[in-house]
Amino acid sequence: MTVTSQPSGKTLPRPTVVRRRLRARLRAAIAAAALLVIAAPLASTPAFAVEQPAPLSATPTPTPDVPPGETVFTLSPVANGTVRPGEGLAVSVTLQNGTDAVTAAATVTLSLGGAPLGDRAALGAWLAGDGSGETMSPVGSTSLAPILPGGEQVNGIVIEPGDPALAGRAPGVYPLSATYDSPAGPVTSTSVMIVPAEGGAEVGIGVVVPITAGPSSAGLLTSAELTVLTSPAGSLTNQLDAVEGTPAILAVDPAIPAAIRVLGSSAPASATEWLARLEALANSRFALQFGDADVAAQLEAGLPRPLRPLSLKAYIDPINLVTAATATPEPSASPEPEGPVYPSVDELTAIGGARAGVFWPGTGTATPAVVASLGDVVVDDRDSLTLVPSTSTRAGAGGQTVPGRAVAGDADLLVYDADVSRELHAASVTEETALRGAPLTAAAAFLAFAVAETGGDPVVVTIDRDQDRSRVAMRTAITSASQAPGVTPVTLGGVAARLPASVEIADAADEEVRAGAASVLVAEEEQLARFATILDDTVLLTGPERAEILQLLGLAWLPDPVGWQTAVDLHRAGTVTTLDSVGILPPSPINLFSAGAPIPIWVRNDLPYPVNVVLYATPDDLRLDVAKATDVTAGAASNTRVQVPVQARVGNGEVSVQLQLRSRTLEPIGAPQVVDVNVRADWEGVGIVVLSVLVAGFLLLGLVRTVLRLRARRSRRAQTTDSEADGEAAGDGERGGEERAPADRADAGPTEPDAGPTHAPAVSDDAGEDAR
């Protein structure tokens, strides 16, 4: 047990703060040397007394992750505290100085209890610092030299195999402590020594290990991120190195192989090699939620079942698609498909040999309602399995051991031992060998009680999710559990096939914050799905949106709630930007002086894909007839000009035309706009009519006058002709009388000759006209 020294003389529980920082090679060498010094006497001839080793370092290296102003004292048994008959006990004690002063020299006393702890509840109390009621006897000691500020010192204490303190010990878990006197009082670190039972039947154990890539707000890892993660020192490489050759049950985030496969031929070589190694492993496995999303938050948000990725097509460049080439294609009766053939989501997220329908909610988040909902899920005609910690059951919450295979109502469960899993996780993130022994010993002690109390049913443990763990620390935690006394490794199928024990799920607090965020994200996703109907292929928008939501709900965000909230806010802002990526540019006022002309409207499209929308125009006045709907195909990342036909009626004035883009499913797209049209088209129509009437009137008037003049002229000519005819007739009459007179007068005698006409000549019509 590790304790943090404060100004009191009490035994303090181990801190829960996890140490993550990688140690320098020098420190690793010192720790290795310490183990060699500690373990060497175990192989020697038994003796009653052993000289205590001297301090390992006169000038200790800086201490890792020690709270400022405090010292940390840790007791770590070697070999996970397991001592079989005839073996000795070796431990290390580590003092880390986080103060600004040099620590005083001190003597550390190692004490061992005479009787084993009664049960796992007593074990938990002892490790938490409650040493009341335990009789302890000193069995060894060592001296600590003064430690400089920021330094640490590791000393070893060895109890020889023949020491009377170890002789005749019955199987059990014995309390162990190390104490030194500080100026503030005695400081004690507690641990245990385990004497395993021999000859009993072995109990199956399943060790579940997650393979994850850490928190992300992007739908998939990028090529650059994969290059780092799958490099020789990368996190994903470390995880694969840790599980390779072990019987661990793998829980793999399917977003990792999907990120590699979508890159196709452009994927980093290290990433494709990593994926090939994963697929070649013989370990049983199952797929986590995409992005290791929090299933409890999703179900508490009101979803009927956990979300799945919709499509990853948007992440695929057709140029990089990997296809199997054949020298002579086989003839096919069906025509070849046009364009590239994209792999499905199932093909991209496949994890070879994985069991479907296994859910692993975050530790402590599985409420009875969540478990019941997950129990209703059926995948590939097989009931789902849900992993829950033993403390999520009423029996486990009361300190009892719960079998690994259980059932709660209709929900099939895999119940992992919470105490063992907690200690294994702590060991997996502890980089210093001298410090890692403390959680490994605690895990072995809890596992010893679990094996004894499970009744032969298998035990399930986990090495819970975390980031940047070394392959050594992870592998040590896995092997410590799978090779513990009295257990034998089993696969996922082996555990699932066992007859389940009936359990009851205990109440747990709802994840109100994360469930609320999930509810908002899903609602905005539905809005984006309606918006995406402007695309020929809607999954180009909905696919990345779903992938990003699942990544944001990833359990890797739990240690960083502030960073998670920031990522959620940024995603929501991005969704708003996407919804506003297509719209109508604000139009300028338009003067319309003709009866019919198109109104120019510009449609903005910021998306990298062409969109199909319908522009609806509605005037607020009957002076203007506008085409109600105009189909528009807007190019990718461009502004498109649209001509809206209009027809002006008689009348002039201001007309406002409401403009709204809609998808083909009538979903509003972008904000509505208004274009003001100044209609003056009636002046042209009226003017043309008036002018036409005037011209026609003038033409008619001219025609009438011409006709009247012609008629008048003809009338005058007729009158003149009649007058001349009358005159000639009169003259002829006179001449006739005269001609008849001589005849009459013939008998009377000869007459005088005719003197000719006596009337004046007629004048011309024109002259007469002038005269008149």
DSSP 83-131: --TT--EEEEEEEEE-SSSPPPPEEEEEEEESS---SHHHHHHHHTT--
Residues 125 and 211 in one domain: no
359, β-bridge pairs: 386
Q: Which residues contact 476 (CB under 8 A, 6 or more apart)?
A: 427, 428, 436, 440
What's the rounded Cα separation, in Å, for the pair 172 and 449? 9
SS (H, E, C) 479-535: HHHHCCCCEEECCHHHHHCCCCEECCECCCCCCHHHHHHHHHHHHHHHHHHHHHHHC
Please report whether residue 274 resides in a domain.
Answer: yes
* Bridge pairing between strands 501-502 and 405-408: parallel
Q: If 0-12 CB within 10 Å is exposed, 13-18 middle and 19+ buried, where does residue 551 land?
A: buried
Position 568, amino acid: V
Query: Which two three-digit tokens encode residue 100?
Result: 């600004």
Residue 57 predicted with pLDDT over 90: no
* Angle (CA) 586 592 594, round 5°: 145
* Bridge pairing between strands 582-584 and 285-287: unpaired
Residues 162 and 29 in one domain: yes
Q: Which residues contact 418 (CB under 8 A, 6 or more apart)?
A: 363, 389, 390, 391, 396
Section 349-375 average pLDDT:
93
Section 323-350 average pLDDT:
66
Please report whether residue 769 resides in a domain.
Answer: no
Please report whether residue 100 resides in a domain.
Answer: yes
| Rg of the Cα atoms in the chain | 52
Please report whether residue 314 resides in a domain.
Answer: yes
- Our CA dihedral for 397, 398, 404, 407, rounded to 10 degrees, sits at -80
Give the tens place of pLDDT for each residue, 604-654.
Answer: 999 999 999 999 999 888 778 888 999 999 999 999 999 998 887 766 778
Between residues 405 and 5, the one the model is more confident about: 405
Residues 669 and 709 in one domain: no
Please report whether residue 326 resides in a domain.
Answer: no
Give the tens place of pLDDT for each residue, 379-421.
Answer: 888 899 999 999 999 999 988 999 999 999 999 999 999 999 9
485, 501, 517 - which closes a domain: 501
652, 679, 706 - which closes a domain: 679
Q: Would you state the pLDDT for residue 200?
A: 81
Residues 232 and 306 in one domain: yes
Residue 172 predicted with pLDDT over 60: yes
Q: CA nearest 451: which of 426, 428, 484, 429?
A: 484
Query: Which two three-digit tokens encode residue 517?
Result: 């965020």
DSSP E strand boundaries for 666-730: 668-679
Q: If 0-12 CB within 10 Å is exposed, 13-18 middle and 19+ buried, where does residue 439 land?
A: buried
What's the rounded Cα separation, in Å, for the pair 238 and 221? 17
What's the rounded Cα separation, in Å, for the pair 30 and 26? 6
**Residue range of the domain that includes 425:** 203-321+344-501
Position 492, amino acid: L
Q: Would you state the pLDDT for residue 722?
A: 64
Residues 271 and 153 in one domain: no
Give the tens place of pLDDT for each residue, 327-340.
Answer: 344 454 455 556 78
The total number of structural domains that make up the chain:
4
Please report whether residue 349 resides in a domain.
Answer: yes
The DSSP output letter for 331 is P
Q: Which residues contact 573 (CB under 8 A, 6 or more apart)?
A: none
CATH code of 475's domain: 3.20.20
Residues 106 and 154 in one domain: yes
Q: Would you state the pLDDT for residue 23?
A: 36
Section 691-707 average pLDDT:
84
Q: CA nearest 588: which of 681, 677, 679?
A: 677
* pLDDT bucket at 467, cuts 50 / 70 / 90: confident
- Our CA dihedral for 683, 689, 691, 694, rounded to 10 degrees, sits at -140
What's the rounded Cα separation, in Å, for the pair 88 and 305? 54
Beta carbons of 210 and 464 less than 8 angstroms apart: yes
What's the rounded Cα separation, in Å, for the pair 259 and 345? 11
Q: Would you state the pLDDT for residue 563?
A: 96
Please report whether residue 296 resides in a domain.
Answer: yes
Please report whether residue 260 resides in a domain.
Answer: yes
Residue 86 predicted with pLDDT over 80: yes
Residues 670 and 694 in one domain: no
Residues 663 and 632 in one domain: yes
Residues 73 and 22 in one domain: yes
Residue 714 predicted with pLDDT over 80: no
Section 663-688 average pLDDT:
80
Q: If 0-12 CB within 10 Å is exposed, 13-18 middle and 19+ buried, where does residue 282 land?
A: exposed
Element (H, E) at 244: none
Residues 19 and 164 in one domain: yes
DSSP E strand boundaries for 183-295: 185-195, 203-211, 249-252, 285-287
Which residue in the block uniquely carries the two structure tokens 């004894």? 452
* Angle (CA) 208 214 216, round 5°: 140
CA 248 and chain centroid, separation: 28
Residues 209 and 151 in one domain: no
Residue 751 predicted with pLDDT over 70: no
* pLDDT bucket at 8, cuts 50 / 70 / 90: very low
Section 432-443 average pLDDT:
95
Beta carbons of 265 and 301 less than 8 angstroms apart: no
657, 679, 701 - which closes a domain: 679
CATH code of 647's domain: 2.60.40.10
Residues 146 and 262 in one domain: no
Residue 30 predicted with pLDDT over 50: no
Q: CA nearest 163: which of 110, 214, 219?
A: 110
Give the tens place of pLDDT for each residue, 148-171.
Answer: 999 999 999 999 998 999 998 999
